[in-house]
Structure 1
Amino acid sequence: MAVKILHNDDNFIIVNKPYDMYINSDDVNEKNTVACHIASQDSHLSSSSQPLHFVQRLDYATSGVLCIAKNKRAAAQAGRLLEKRFAKKYYLAVLRGHVKFHSCRIEYEIGDDPSTQDTNHKMLAVTDPASQSASRSRSARTTLLVLETGFYGGDPASVVLMKPTTGRRHQLRVHCSTIGHTILGDYTYSDGKDASTDRMFLHAMRLILPFQDETLDIQTAEPFYSDDSFNNKWKTETVFHGFRESDEFISTCAVIDLLSEDSDILVFQYNSKAS
C-alpha cells in the first residue's frame, strides 16, 4: 500500500501510514516500511545520507497520522510538545462488544508483561493493588468517547474516539482490552482469538502540534467506512456523535477535549504509588 503524504515542509513530513506496515527496520531486506516509501531503508539512522527522525511511533498494525522530522532541531521541538503533553492525538477504533457507557477515562498504569519478553512483548495494565505481574509500570491516561454502536459480521461492536494523554507502548490496545472491549482485529490482545478480519481497526486520525510560530493540525479522511470490506460487514445501530465528515469529526474532537478534563466522568484507575 502507498504511503500518502499529508504535509511536507522544511522541517516535517507527515504521512498517512497504512496498516500492517513498519515505520522503519534495521533489517536491510525489509522493504515494507514507511522509511523505504518516503526516503531510504536506512533513513532512521544518523549515518544515513538523508536521515529522518521518527518523533512519533505507530504500531505495525495501526494506521494513520505519523509525524517525521527532517532535522534534529525540528525533532527536538516536536519531542518537547509530546513530552510536555501539549500535542493532541485522536484515534478512531472499532471495539468488540457494545460499550455500555457514553464515555470514560482510563488511567491504569501500563508495564511490561514478563511472560512475553521472549515472544511478542505484550504489555499489561495494573488494575489490582495486589498484583505485581507488570514490571516497570508507568502512568497512562486515555479518554474514550463512544461514537456509534452496531454489528460487524453479526457481532456487536462499537466505534469509539480515543484521546491518549500519555504515549505508552500499546497503550490504547491495552486499555481497551482491560475494560473488556478489545479492538476489532487485535490478534495479540485477544489472545489470538480475533484473527478473522483483514486488519486491526485502530487509526490515528488527527494530530495537533502547537508550535510557537504555527500550529500543525493534520487530519486524515475517515478510514473504515470508505472500505467496502468493512462496509459490507457493518450494520449501524445507534449514532451518538458524527465523525465521518471532517467538520463533524472536528466537532467531536472538541467534545472529547472537554471530557478529558471532566471530573465527573467514569474513571477506571488504580495508582500503585498510593498503596
Structure 2
Amino acid sequence: MVAKYRAGGLDDPEDEAGEVAAAESAAERRVAEVDAAGHGERLDRWLTGLAPEFSRNHLQSLIERGCVLVDGRALQKAAHKLRAGQRVEIELQPTDESRAFRAEPMALDLAFEDEHLLVVNKPAGLVVHPAPGNWSGTLMNGLLAHHPAAASLPRAGIVHRLDKDTSGLMVVGKTLEAVTALTRQIAAREVHREYLALAWGRVEEAFVVEKAMRRDPVSRVKMAVAPANLGKPARTDVFPLGVGDVQGRPVSAVHCVLHTGRTHQIRVHLMHSGHPLLADALYGGAPALGLSRQALHAARLGFTHPITGAAITLVAALPADLASAWAGIGAADLPG
C-alpha cells in the first residue's frame, strides 16, 4: 500500500486510494475527444473527468510539465479553453508523494525493538516523513527498508514525530494492533515524553507554560500561542538544570516535560516565556556554542507496551553537538 502525505505532517493525512493505485503502475497514456459538453471547459477541469483518480493540482502540474497534448501540441496552460472535437492526450505520471513511499536502506539507531514496535533514536537533520522539499531520505523511507511490513501500516507505523532538527527518541508501531494502541495512548496523554534543551535567558526556578497553540496566522511554517478559544490546549513543565554565561548573556539548561504534543510546542512555549532555544532561527533563538540547529533533544520516553502491558522507559544520551554545548555551561544531566 502506498500512503500520501501533504505539508503539515501527521495532523494532515489524506485518503488518496485511487490516486495512489494509479501511481503504483507505470505511467500510462489516455486519449479522448472533447465532446459538446466539454466545449469551452478549462483544460485542467476537463481532465478531472478523463483521470478522476488524480487531484486537480496534480493534473495542473502535468500540464505545466508538457505531459498533456491537445491536437498533438503541448499546452502548458491549465486555463486553456477546449473546443469540441479536439483530441486530448495525457501521460499520467505518479505524484511526488506516491514516489516518496519507497524503501531506502539507512542506518537506524534503535533503542528498543521487538516484533510489535521499535524505538528509534533519531539524529538531528533527519526528516521523519516525506513532505514538499523532502520526498526521499526520510525516517519513513528507512523504516520501510528495515521493516518491509511497514508498507501496510498507516504512515509506516509512525505515531508521533520530532522536528527535522530535534534529536531523540520516537516510538514506531510494527503491527496495526500496536499502531492503534500507541495512537490511543498518545491521545490519552499516557505516553511520557521529556526533553533537554538549552535556552537563552536565566531559568532558576521551575515554571509551567499552559498556553493554547495554533498555526501562526501570518507565517504558515510557524506555530503560535493563541487564545484558548482559538487554539488547542498545550502544557509544558520546565525545570532548571543549570545556568551559564555565553557571549556575555545567560544561557539555561532546562528539562521539559510535555503534557500535550503540539507541533513545535516546546520551541513556542519557551519563546513565549522569553527563553527561545539556542540556534532556533524560526523562533528567534540566536546560534551559540557551535550549534547549527535548535538545542532540543527528546531524552526520555515512557509508555506501556501495547501488547505485553510492560512499562517501558528509555533514555537517550545527548548527541555530540548538544553534549559539547551542555558541557560548555556546566549544566546538570537529566534527573533520574
**Shorter-normalised TM-score: what interval?**
0.7 to 0.9
Q: Which residue in the other structure is 1:145 paired with?
A: 239
Report the Cα offset of residue 90 of structure 1: 0.4
Q: Which residue in the other structure is 1:182 paired with?
A: 276
Report the Cα offset of residue 222 of structure 1: 2.9
Report the Cα offset of residue 250 of structure 1: 4.7
- Counterpart among 137, 160, 163 of residue 59 in structure 1: 163
Q: Which residue in the other structure is 1:78 paired with?
A: 182
* 1:217 aligned onto 2:313: yes
Change (3 A) 1:224 1:162: farther
Answer whether contact 1:106 1:141 (CA < 8 A) is retained. Answer: yes
Q: Which residue in the other structure is 1:21 paired with?
A: 126
Q: TM-score, normalised by structure 2?
A: 0.60
| Higher RCO, Cα 8 Å, sep 6+ | 1
Instruction: Give the secondary structure class of the aligned counterpart of 1:39.
Output: helix
Change (3 A) 1:235 1:170: closer
Change (3 A) 1:26 1:235: closer
Instruction: Give the secondary structure class of the aligned counterpart of 2:157.
Output: coil
Q: Partners of 2:124 and 2:182 in 1: how far apart?
A: 23
Unmatched 5+ stretches in structure 2:
1-105
- Counterpart among 192, 208, 230 of residue 88 in structure 1: 192
Query: 1:106-255 residue pairs with structure 2 within 5 A?
Result: 106-117=209-220, 121-126=221-226, 136-190=230-284, 194=287, 197-211=291-305, 213-223=309-319, 227-228=323-324, 230=325, 234-236=328-330, 242-243=332-333, 249-251=334-336
Q: Partners of 1:61 and 1:226 in 2: how far apart?
A: 12
String of CA shifts for 1:118-143, please: whole Å, max 9, x gaps. xxx2111136x9xxxxx941110110
Q: Which residue in the other structure is 1:68 paired with?
A: 172
Answer whether contact 1:5 1:15 (CA < 8 A) is retained. Answer: yes
* 1:9 aligned onto 2:114: yes
Answer whether contact 1:13 1:70 (CA < 8 A) is retained. Answer: yes
Instruction: Give the secondary structure class of the aligned counterpart of 2:164.
Output: coil
Answer whether contact 1:25 1:41 (CA < 8 A) is retained. Answer: no
Report the Cα offset of residue 30 of structure 1: 3.9
Change (3 A) 1:221 1:115: same
Residues paired across the two proteins, number: 228
Q: Which residue in the other structure is 1:103 paired with?
A: 206
String of CA shifts for 1:164-204, please: whole Å, max 9, x gaps. 1011111111000000000111110118x548732211000
Answer whether contact 2:110 2:119 (CA < 8 A) is retained. Answer: yes
Deviating more after overlay: 157-166 vs 26-35: 26-35
- Counterpart among 144, 148, 155 of residue 39 in structure 1: 144
Q: TM-score, normalised by structure 1?
A: 0.72
Change (3 A) 1:43 1:198: farther
Deviating more after overlay: 168-177 vs 214-223: 214-223
Answer whether contact 1:148 1:160 (CA < 8 A) is retained. Answer: yes
Change (3 A) 1:43 1:28: farther
Report the Cα offset of residue 26 of structure 1: 5.0
Q: Partners of 1:140 and 1:35 in 2: how far apart?
A: 27
Unmatched 5+ stretches in structure 1:
130-134, 244-248, 252-275
Instruction: Give the secondary structure class of the aligned counterpart of 2:197.
Output: strand
Change (3 A) 1:178 1:231: closer
Instruction: Give the secondary structure class of the aligned counterpart of 2:318.
Output: coil
